Structure 1
Amino acid sequence: MPRSNRPRRGGRDNDRGESDLSALLNGWKRTEVRRGVTWWVQPVSSSQSQKEYVCPGCGRRVDAGTAHVVAWRADGPLGDAADLAARRHWHSHCWRIG
């Protein structure tokens, strides 16, 4: 039987779909309520972490290449743009205990 040059279903397109899914899960954000304030919280994987930040919870560095979370107010009085500009990068542990 001669070989078919047509792409088959479930080939490379399926692999690409799985990587899109993992990118979606890595960028997944949620809301949390802390002390009566609603926050957007988004995890950042170690591969996505490109810069160094200062954690507001402990005052220490969040080094590049370290998995952490980014948090910003979801219900701030100045609006979404101001809340997003005021986002902070926290160590995951510091955010959990904070």
Structure 2
Amino acid sequence: MLAGVQAVEDGPDGRWHVRNLPGGGSAKTYRCPGCDQEIPPGVPHLVAWPADGSTEERRHWHRPCWRARYRRGPSNSRRR
């Protein structure tokens, strides 16, 4: 398994590398592509990127938004 990858998930939107982040080490604010809201420092969340892409495509997601990405209509999560 690649360094920093905790899981590989397959879905209708492709294969993804996924890593859970506890939030304690985060000092940055990120914007979740699922809900377009901020993920403030210290909030547990996950980072995902396409398995056939690069880590430059990593996006930080709220965990519920990641799980609900299939139900949000046409998915644009791949390249957000």
The two structures share one fold, judged by TM-score above 0.5: yes
Aligned length: 66
Percent of pairs with identical residues: 41
Matched with 2:7 is 30
- The 5 Å alignment of 1:7-26 reads none
Does the residue aligned with 1:33 lie in a helix, a strand or coil?
strand
* TM-score, structure 2 as length reference: 0.75
| Structure 1 position 85 matched with structure 2 position 56 | yes
| Higher radius of gyration, 1 or 2 | 1
2-side partners of 1:28 and 1:37: how far apart? 16
> What is the identity, as a one-letter code, of the residue corresponding to 1:40?
H
Flag the structure with higher helix content.
Answer: 1
1-side partners of 2:26 and 2:65: how far apart? 17
Matched with 1:53 is 30
Flag the structure with higher strand content.
Answer: 2
* TM-score, structure 1 as length reference: 0.62
1:70 deviates by 0.1
Q: Which runs of 5 or more residues in structure 2 are unaligned?
A: 70-80
Residues 5, 17 of structure 2: 8 Å contact kept: no
1:36 deviates by 4.7
Residues 30, 39 of structure 2: 8 Å contact kept: yes
1:66 deviates by 0.3
Q: Which runs of 5 or more residues in structure 1 are unaligned?
A: 1-26, 77-82
2-side partners of 1:50 and 1:94: how far apart? 21
Corresponding residue to 1:41 among 18, 37, 45: 18
**What's the C-alpha RMSD, in Å, of the aligned pairs?**
1.4
